[in-house]
Structure 1
Amino acid sequence: MKAKEFDEKFDANEEDILSELDLSTAKRVNQQQKRVNVDFPIWMIESLDREASRLGVTRQSIIKVWLAERLEHQVSHHH
């Protein structure tokens, strides 16, 4: 499908354009992963694990969410 035809279908909102895309090669900007090692005191790991268990998520998930929230907060308060 030509880009012009795709744009027309999108603009007309007449059909599902997702079927026209190869999402297997799609990439989200700034979402590449990089492994880092961080040492935490045992009390902090135990607290993280308790909270992660309470929420039904992994330790890694809760660390990522909390860090993302803090970083977003920092950015929003420095602009």
Structure 2
Amino acid sequence: MKKALLTLVLIAQAATFSIASESDKETKEDIARHRAMAAAHEAAAKCRESGKGEDVCNKELQAACKGLAIGKFCGMKHEH
């Protein structure tokens, strides 16, 4: 049991180290993706404020987020 626990701790430490060793370039790319997704969501909110329908605004959101995030809602879905 102690060996299993020690193994799990070592795996967790290795995972933490590998995450922490992300390069500056990767970090900057990640930040840029987050900002692009945020801008797309802000545009979707403004689209809805303008009175356009949900389907129209979702299509615009999908187009703006193509290749940025997972799923058809740009990495974010909420209840309506």
| TM over 0.5, shorter chain | no
**Which structure ranks higher in relative contact order (CA pairs < 8 Å, sequence separation ≥ 6)?**
2
Q: Report which of the two structures shows the higher radius of gyration computed on alpha carbons.
A: 1
TM-score, reference length from structure 2:
0.30
